[in-house]
Amino acid sequence: MKRFSYKAKDKKTGKVVKGSIQADNEQTAGHLLIDQGYIPDSIAEEGASLLGSTNGHATGKDRITFTRQLATLIGAGLPISNSLRTVADQTQSRAMKSIVEEITTNVESGKTLYDAFSMHKDIFNNVYLSLIKAGESSGTLDIALKRLADQEEKDAALLGKIRGALVYPAIIFVVIIAVLAFMMIMVVPQVEMLYSDMGKELPALTQFLVGISQFFGQFWWFVLLLFLLIVGGSYVAVKHTSFGREVMDSIKIHTPIFGKLFLKLYVSRFARTAEMMLETGVPMLDSIKTSIGAVNNVIVEKEYTKSLDIIKGGKPLSTSLEGLNYMLPLIPQMVAIGEESGKIDEMLGKAAQTYETELDEQVNNISTMIEPILMVIMAGLIGVVIGGTLLPIYSLVNSVSA
């Protein structure tokens, strides 16, 4: 898709206007302008393709900002095409600006908003598209967009806190590696040389450390290559193979401390998405199916998918969620209350809020939880190195003094 600058005359007012339009070629651009009520005067290609190297990539933050702005404008009563054009003019991201302009062009050429958004599934996921479709058909598009923006902001904030909580352990780990590397490279060889000059036999622990030091000194290139292969292979496996993805997702939910955090994140994401879908008017089965896809963990998604067959069999949602692995108990309990009161979406929202609050508190405390463990590990490793270097020196000094 290319961008064209144009100069055209408005059929109704006779006013000459200038602007840009997305199209496959110059002829298509001319037809689109005519369909919009303009008489083209000149059309010229502007630049590279939609997501070419000059535009970069739209980020999650770009999507949230766009969604929030569009919801505000539509809620204020502006027509969809005008709202899209206004947002495009205000967008700072070149990539997002191009995407919004193409969506605008497709909407003005007669496509539904859902179809226009569906052309960019790399930016807008299934949850996003489903809510756009539901909001468009029910006339509550501004509400659907506002809920999308709210939820994406919550997800971004929560994931940011989790990543932030991991920064401290990562720093401690780097410090441990740096201290050990310094001791092995600078201190251990000196101890070996000292014993060698004096014709003394190294203690077993020191000999072990010397062996490690010599191995890394001679084969550092092999260790580095092996590390890069493991890291690169793991990344490719996780990103491009189903087996790698399953292994990584399984590690996330079974790792001590972090497993419970990830599980609450997935459960709250499922409940919050289901709340939005049901509240917007999406049918129950479609809502649950889309909410399962929003979890973003294949192990959990496979387990939750079992509920779809139970719902198809005529059972209530609460029954279908009971007994599922990786489903925390508050969800089916609150859903059962919602089924009795006719407010399933509201109860799902309250359950999601409960787990989000718990998750937020646990993330804030995670550094405190991990700090003692890291300190013990660091003390143990450094203690082994010190024991293999300083104690032999003291022993050697004592033997000389004697």
pLDDT score recorded for residue 320: 92
If asked whether residues 315 and 290 sit together in one domain, one would say yes
If asked whether residues 288 and 329 sit together in one domain, one would say yes
Q: What does the buried/exposed string (b/e) look like for 225-255 if buried means 16 or more CB atoms within 10 Å of the residue's CB?
A: eeeeeeeeeeeeeeeeeeebbebbbeebbee
393 belongs to a structural domain? no
141 belongs to a structural domain? yes
203 belongs to a structural domain? no
CATH of the domain at 335: 1.20.81.30
Which tokens is 15 given? Answer: 């006013």
Q: Are 261 and 366 in contact (CB under 8 A)?
A: yes
Residue of 397, 284, 259 whose CA lies nearest to 348: 284
Which tokens is 187 given? Answer: 């201190």
If asked whether residues 38 and 65 sit together in one domain, one would say no
379 belongs to a structural domain? no
178 belongs to a structural domain? no
276 belongs to a structural domain? yes
The mean pLDDT of the chain is: 82
Dist. CA 289–CA 278, nearest whole Å: 12
How many folded domains does the chain comprise?
A: 3
Which tokens is 329 given? Answer: 């108990």
pLDDT in tens, 47-83: 543 333 334 577 888 888 888 888 888 888 888 888 8
pLDDT in tens, 71-122: 888 888 888 888 898 888 888 888 888 888 888 888 888 888 888 898 888 8
Q: Are 377 and 176 in contact (CB under 8 A)?
A: yes
Which structural domain range is residue 29 located in? 2-45
Write out the DSSP string of 236-272. HHHHH-HHHHHHHHHHHHHSTTHHHHHHHHHHHHHHH
Question: pTM above 0.85?
Answer: no
Residue of 71, 225, 38 whose CA lies nearest to 141: 71
If asked whether residues 355 and 262 sit together in one domain, one would say yes
Domain end, chosen from 151, 168, 200, is at 151
Domain end, chosen from 93, 117, 151, is at 151
pLDDT score recorded for residue 52: 37
Query: Percentage of residues in the chain with pLDDT exceeding 70?
Result: 93
pLDDT score recorded for residue 396: 67
If asked whether residues 85 and 37 sit together in one domain, one would say no
If asked whether residues 9 and 77 sit together in one domain, one would say no
390 belongs to a structural domain? no
Which of 7-16, 31-40, 190-199, 263-272 is most confident?
Answer: 263-272
If asked whether residues 34 and 65 sit together in one domain, one would say no
3-class DSSP state of 393: helix
pLDDT score recorded for residue 2: 67
Domain end, chosen from 151, 182, 213, is at 151
181 belongs to a structural domain? no
